[in-house]
Structure 1
Amino acid sequence: MKKPLVTSPAVIMAPRADGFEVVWGVSRLSRGRLEWSVGDEAGVAYSDAFGMVPQSDRVLRVRLNGMPAGAEVRVRAVTEAVTGRGVKGGPARHESEWKTVRTLDPAASSAHFAVWNDTHRHKKTLRALHAATPDVDMLVWNGDLCNDWKHPSTFVDTVLDPAGCDVSRGRPLTISLGNHDARGTWAYQLQEYVATPEGRPYTAFRSGPVAGIVLHTGEDKPDGHPTFKGRVAFEALRAEQAEWLREATLWPEIRDAPYRVVFCHIPLRWVEEYEVDYDNGGYDSFSKMSRDAWHDALTAWGAQLVVSGHMHETASIPPSEEFGYGQLVSGGPDASARSKEAATWIEGVANEAELVLTMRDLAGAVIHEVRLEPLAVDASPTSLAALELAVD
């Protein structure tokens, strides 16, 4: 039987105030476009950065720009086969269902987001998370989507059609990559299936009163570890992110946010910190390499909380004299509540009074709750100069 032309839902990724990107799987060489409408306006997005109509025999992606902030956008993906015929003899064609996506609104008085992590292709867990998570402004999938990439055929059913769930319906998707997402022969192709606003595996966003910074902590061992066989270069990427952080935390919408949250897969703090023996099977329970690179910039910005996964066990670590930001670590991949690696998810709700992050298990029981008070926003020239000096 011939495979269907389109192999996944149209997945809404990389939400921004002025648009988003749509990514979907295909089974043979095809071209794709987006049809959209906002109120009485309508249009088509059909070109890539090099002036070509997006084409691929594996995955299509089209970026939508120029939308109003906080707008409800109706969008669908249209796919046409370049090769092969449809059931009636003409070129095969597919139209996805229409989806409604709200662009991010930096000026909104409230924000609502959710966080998943360490799903590791566990279908029962993914279905339970999909059922439990409400519609939100953004869903952050905080790393370790997979175990490793042993075959390229697993990208679609891991990222775009996990356990047959349309995970971006009602919740545009931001993906923060984990250490397992960098493993396996085919890991280098993951970037074809993951859209980010700037085309890099880190970003910053503003949703209502919440500014979020998404970072890539890389692997849980140094680049030179023999298990990586020379395939990773995360030390350079951490340094690149450190330089970018100094700039991004000065953007007015990020600098002046009442709530300031970091999302990264490997924690920057852990309940027990010790020197790791990498030569005898040791690995990072927290990413000291990342913390050393980013701590000063995050402190100068006033980061309040780092949200992570990785350890497959939960933890809530309050700020300290040494670390002005707390650390919230979510659970593992198992659907069973009795497992030591039981899955959890986080819901964040912000308004003018507070930001509440609630971690629940799959049965709905509250595991941890963190409440953040809004930071005073001082955009005076004196305070801006002080911030610039602090991150210089």
Structure 2
Amino acid sequence: MKRRTFLGSLAAASSISGIAAADEPKAPGVDNVKLLSPPVIQNPGEDAFTVAWAVSGMATGWVEWGTTPELGKQSIPAHHGLMSMSEYALSARIENLPTDTPIYYRTVTIPIHYKNAYAIERGTPLVGKTRKLKLPTAEASSCSLTMVNDTHDHADTLNALAKRIEAINPDAHLWNGDACNDFHNPQLMARICLTPGQHKDQPEHGGWASTRPLLFVPGNHDVRGRDARTMPEALTPWPLNDDDPHRLAPTPLAMGRYCFAKRIGPVAIIGLDTGEDKPDNRDVFGGMAAYEPYREAQRDWLLKVLQQNEIKNAPYLLAFCHIPLIGLEGENDGTGDTGYASYSGFGQQLWLKPLVDAGCQMLFSGHTHRHRIDKPSQAFPIYQVVGGGPKTKDARLIHIQADNKQLNVKVEDLNQTTVNAVTLKPRS
């Protein structure tokens, strides 16, 4: 049994008529809640995915889904008997889906006025638009991915990137860290994490990941701010497996892990969380940093997943982490007492050799705000592609297309001009 199912979110599937029909009478005076974002698809499995969406006030909700536009089933987020409730973000996990079949889904949000345990008023349901989703599969003959990084809540950059992603229509979209500068309140967190690509006049419409999954890789800025700990309520971690190292999520109510392994067609994708850009013992963290054991736990996890058949046997193996694992001459590796990392010495020490030994062909990162491609060398026999920065002149969109013959990486600026390109052949 998956640990997340037991400890965290209970994704209960039932007929829609079984729980709180959408047209039941509602209490007056509770209808001040609005949908503030499109739904965001995350953590895709072959037969499961998570949906998260932003709300403007206290609400509960669920996801209705089916294999036709008529839907017919519900997934209700709950833990230990309590349905989820939030003032800023809701999410639900949908599981046991038919595989390789389009799924139709919509969110239902119920405003809640909580007077006390015996006086809970429900508002009029906010029923979202029905959307169609086809989850990417390992059996597909091709793979199309887009990647952005270091958007830092720059609206003009995000809008241009989201428009281009919609035109490309990839199988999945990767957000490789630093969505924000910091998170200093939960409402800001939900807006930054869940609104990219939304329509200006209809905030619940559009979205860069409402009809395709988002694969999120945290950056060092995403763990900063008083309310950084609320981010998993919007950018949801991957459900834990029973054999995952305990240190990936050692809290009693574990919310999952941000490292992930995913196969889409011929491409195996590894995501790793580099954490902060300084050692845990630096004074700036106030004794509240625990990234070093977390990275070590990811190494233990990585050694296992690299042996999984769908990863080991993939024609292409790519890895994504926010802070580069390979630096330029003279750069700070972030393991010392001064400055901050231009590349992750901790990550390099723990992860680079296992990746290279497993035949990983290319690393993708961000962090520096300056695009570059490092070619394989004798010391580091692997490509490293570093994305751009948050300003429109520095932003880069990376498009990856692969079939069984070749994998093409194209780096564009916001004018859709190709500024770099690399082609890989399948692993032997």
Q: Same fold (TM over 0.5)?
A: yes
CA-CA distance at 1:284 after TM superposition: 1.0
State yes or no: 1:96 paired with 2:148.
no
Match of 1:38 among 54, 67, 88: 67
Instruction: Indicate conservation of the 8 Å contact 1:136/1:170, yes or no.
Output: no
CA-CA distance at 1:91 after TM superposition: 2.3
Other-structure match for 1:81: 111
Q: Percent identity?
A: 33
State yes or no: 1:354 paired with 2:406.
yes
Other-structure match for 1:334: 391
| Partners of 2:216 and 2:338 in 1: CA distance | 28
Higher mean displacement: 166-175 or 138-147: 166-175
Unpaired segments ≥5 residues, structure 2:
1-28, 116-120, 200-206, 240-255
CA-CA distance at 1:276 after TM superposition: 5.5
| Deviation sequence 1:132-158 (CA, Å, 0-9, x none) | 112111110000000011222211210
Higher mean displacement: 233-242 or 187-196: 187-196
Other-structure match for 2:35: 6
State yes or no: 1:256 paired with 2:290.
no
CA-CA distance at 1:277 after TM superposition: 8.2
Other-structure match for 2:425: 373
| Deviation sequence 1:227-260 (CA, Å, 0-9, x none) | 2222221101100000000111111111111100
After TM superposition, the structure 1 = structure 2 runs for residues 156-175 of structure 1, keeping only pairs within 5 Å, are 156-162=190-196, 164=198, 166-175=207-216
Q: Secondary structure at the match of 1:235?
A: helix
| Partners of 1:226 and 1:188 in 2: CA distance | 20
| Partners of 1:279 and 1:323 in 2: CA distance | 22
State yes or no: 1:315 paired with 2:372.
yes
TM-score, normalised relative to structure 2: 0.81
CA-CA distance at 1:283 after TM superposition: 1.5
Other-structure match for 2:91: 61
| Partners of 1:328 and 1:63 in 2: CA distance | 32
Instruction: Indicate conservation of the 8 Å contact 1:118/1:144, yes or no.
Output: yes
Higher mean displacement: 364-373 or 308-317: 364-373
Instruction: Indicate conservation of the 8 Å contact 2:88/2:187, yes or no.
Output: no
**Structure 1: which amino acid aligns with 2:112?**
V
State yes or no: 1:228 paired with 2:228.
no
State yes or no: 1:247 paired with 2:304.
yes
Other-structure match for 1:181: 222
CA-CA distance at 1:84 after TM superposition: 7.4
| Deviation sequence 1:171-216 (CA, Å, 0-9, x none) | 3211100001111121122122111322211111000000000000
| Deviation sequence 1:23-48 (CA, Å, 0-9, x none) | 01223332211111125974211143
| Root mean square deviation of aligned Cα | 2.3
| Partners of 2:284 and 2:130 in 1: CA distance | 45
Q: Secondary structure at the match of 2:212?
A: coil
| Partners of 2:333 and 2:321 in 1: CA distance | 20
Higher mean displacement: 50-59 or 150-159: 50-59
Other-structure match for 2:10: none
Instruction: Indicate conservation of the 8 Å contact 1:68/1:103, yes or no.
Output: no
Other-structure match for 1:388: none
Higher mean displacement: 171-180 or 187-196: 187-196
| Partners of 1:132 and 1:236 in 2: CA distance | 38
Instruction: Indicate conservation of the 8 Å contact 1:217/1:266, yes or no.
Output: yes
Unpaired segments ≥5 residues, structure 1:
377-392
Instruction: Indicate conservation of the 8 Å contact 1:84/1:92, yes or no.
Output: no
Other-structure match for 2:47: 18
| Partners of 1:274 and 1:168 in 2: CA distance | 35
Other-structure match for 2:179: 145
| Partners of 1:42 and 1:277 in 2: CA distance | 52
CA-CA distance at 1:125 after TM superposition: 0.4
| Partners of 2:346 and 2:419 in 1: CA distance | 29
Other-structure match for 1:105: 137
